[in-house]
Amino acid sequence: MSGADRASPEAIEARLLGGPRLHRRDEVAEAAGVPVEYARRLWRAVGFPDVGDVAVAFTDEDLAALRRLLRLVNGGVLDDELAVSVTRAMGHNAARLAEWLVDAMVEHLVDEQGTTVEEATRVATERVTENLDDLEALLVFVWRRQLAAVAGRALAGAARETVTGRLSVGFADLVSYTRLSQKLEERELAALVDRFGRRCADVIAGAHGRLVKTVGDEVLFVADDAADAALIGLELAEVMGEDPELPDVRVGIATGTVLTRMGDVFGRTVNLASRLTALAAPGSVLVDADTAQALEGHPSFALDVQRTRAVRGMGLVRPGVVRRTR
């Protein structure tokens, strides 16, 4: 097969999908032994639109994946509804990762080699396809390492018999982001947001925290220990303050009971951390009373307690500014 043949859309699709499209939806459902409607629900949960009954849209790999999922259901690991939820979560996060990978490679080729977006997209797609085995192995490796970390935290909590869901939650957002978004070109703004996200991820992971999500100009993180959360907040403020390409950040941290679901966090503690972020001065870290109490007497931190104020939806709050001891 020539280079042109290997780079054709058909060849690239067959490589990525594990083979050609051979089956209709009803054929896949019948072969797997499930109702067509359930197969349709799973397909939509992955994140794809309904293909109808006559389109030849599915490969042998699609059939194998459906059978694999059904083995988990038949083995009692999942039930029907949980299988749909798991499929939806995997589809959502895999879609974001796939889009990010291609977009990042395209931006790199445009910036570093001066190619057009069209040419960069073609080259990026070819490189992903040619290196699929290594990228797939790397993805599985990272997922298993993350799964080991989650299992370790869960088992440690079970051993202590104190699984309370108590965490320190922090938000960090870029100062003057709205003004910047109106001033910068789209590519410049995208580069700024990407740089902010990367710097945040490095700081949070390095200080024993966990990045929950990034939403434009804001990151949400959690830590099992208030001191770790305070260190993350201070390092985020310092790193962004020293970076000439990024504006300052403001950070808010609250400690308390947190509901964790599907990798996200919810509850009053999360809402309070968000409110404190809005109150924080640029380059500062503002914490609630529970975080301040947990940090009391800690040799690495000092607190400047502020006046009590009414916070929307939270009632009266007496926050404190945390700083490093000299």
The alpha-carbon radius of gyration of the chain (Å, integer) is: 24
Q: Would you state the pLDDT for residue 268?
A: 92
Angle between helices 80-113 and 186-206 (to 10 degrees): 120
β-sheet with 320-324: strand ranges across: 210-215, 218-223, 166-174, 249-257, 285-287, 320-324, 301-305
Q: Is the dihedral of CA 154, 157, 161, 164 positive or negative?
A: negative
Q: pTM for the full model? A: 0.69
| Rounded CA separation 269/171 (Å) | 11
**β-bridge partners, 26:** none
Q: Which one, of 171, 157, 316, 279, lies nearest residue 232 by Cα?
A: 171
Please answer whether residues 175 and 282 qualify as being in contact, where contact means their C-beta atoms are separated by less than 8 angstroms: yes
What pLDDT digit, counting tens, does each position of 10-39 carry?
A: 888 989 999 999 999 999 999 999 999 999
Please answer whether residues 276 and 288 qualify as being in contact, where contact means their C-beta atoms are separated by less than 8 angstroms: yes
Q: Would you state the pLDDT for residue 163?
A: 40
| Rounded CA separation 322/67 (Å) | 54
Helical H runs in 161-284?
A: 177-183, 186-206, 226-242, 268-279
Per DSSP, the residues of 259-275 read: EEETTEEESHHHHHHHH
In this structure, the chain runs to a length of 326
Residue 29 CB neighbour total at 10 angstroms: 22
| Rounded CA separation 105/114 (Å) | 13
The C-alpha torsion from 27 through 29 and 31 to 32, rounded to 10°, is 160
Q: Would you state the pLDDT for residue 280?
A: 93
Please answer whether residues 58 and 22 qualify as being in contact, where contact means their C-beta atoms are separated by less than 8 angstroms: yes
Q: Would you state the pLDDT for residue 96?
A: 85
What pLDDT digit, counting tens, does each position of 265-309 carry?
A: 899 999 999 999 999 999 999 999 999 999 999 999 999 988 888
Query: End-to-end distance of the chain based on CA atoms, in angstroms?
Result: 67
Average pLDDT per run of 10 along the chain, which is 326 residues long? Answer: 62 90 93 92 89 90 94 93 90 88 89 89 92 94 89 64 71 88 83 88 91 89 94 95 92 93 86 94 94 93 87 85 89
Q: At 203, is the secondary structure helix, strand, or coil?
A: helix
DSSP state of 322: E
Could you tell me which residues come within 8 angstroms of residue 234 by beta carbon, excluding any fewer than 6 positions away? Answer: 285, 322, 323, 324
β-pairing, 264-266 vs 166-174, is unpaired
* Six token digits for residue 57: 């849209």
Ramachandran angles phi, psi of 163, nearest 5°: -80, 90
| Rounded CA separation 40/34 (Å) | 10
